[in-house]
């Protein structure tokens, strides 16, 4: 199993304003061209096959955002609770970038581009109608569009 980076998230937020964050993850190419990757069960969202490439998840934590990120990254004990936990514990998933930002979660989500990877993923409390807070950016490597 590939482990996420053990470093603390970079912070592009003003002190005291951090609460929103982005996590960029990579799923490797599957051995057979055109084949879908192994199925990934995501809680109540069910089973999904994700294409190889770059994914960006945007989230928020009203309190202790660094602790939330450390939990998502496996630096703290966890059980599968949030949708992103199911993705990040997948044995082939590799975290490639993490950041804390000062802009609102849905605005950060909109900056990522790409397409909705799984409808409803990470957006059960979204008031802006994002559709999902996990975006698929494709097979190319793109930087995380922060604040």
User: Quick check: 111 and 102 in contact, CB under 8 A?
Assistant: no
Give 47's contacts (C-beta < 8 A, 6+ positions apart): 39, 40, 41
For 126, other C-beta atoms within 10 Å of its C-beta total 16
Query: Cβ(93)–Cβ(134) under 8 Å?
Result: no
* pLDDT class of 71 with cuts at 50, 70, 90: confident
74-92: pLDDT as tens digits? 887 778 888 999 999 888 8
The pTM of the full predicted model, rounded to 2 decimals, is 0.80
Give the 3-state DSSP-derived string for 56-71, with helices as H, strands as E and coil as C: EEEEECCCCHHHHHHH
* Cβ–Cβ < 8 Å for 84, 56: no
**CA distances for 17 relative to 12, 20, 99, 147, angstroms:** 10, 9, 13, 12
Mean pLDDT of all residues in 24-32: 78
Q: Domain map of the chain by residue range?
A: 10-138
Q: How far apart (Å, rounded) are the C-alpha atoms in residues 112 and 131?
A: 14
């Amino acid at each position: 199993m590939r482990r996420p980076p053990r470093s603390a998230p970079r912070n592009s937020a003003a002190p005291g304003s951090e609460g929103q964050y982005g996590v960029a993850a990579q799923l490797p190419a599957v051995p057979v061209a055109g084949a879908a990757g192994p199925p990934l069960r995501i809680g109540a969202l069910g089973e999904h096959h994700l294409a190889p490439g770059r994914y960006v998840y945007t989230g928020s934590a009203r309190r202790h955002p660094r602790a939330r990120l450390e939990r998502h990254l496996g630096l703290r004990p966890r059980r599968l609770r949030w949708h992103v936990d199911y993705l990040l514990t997948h044995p082939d998933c590799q975290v490639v970038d993490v950041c804390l930002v000062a802009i609102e979660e849905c605005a950060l989500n909109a900056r990522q581009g790409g397409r909705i990877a799984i409808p409803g993923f990470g957006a059960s409390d979204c008031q802006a109608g994002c559709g999902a807070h996990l975006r698929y950016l494709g097979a190319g490597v793109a930087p995380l569009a922060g604040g």
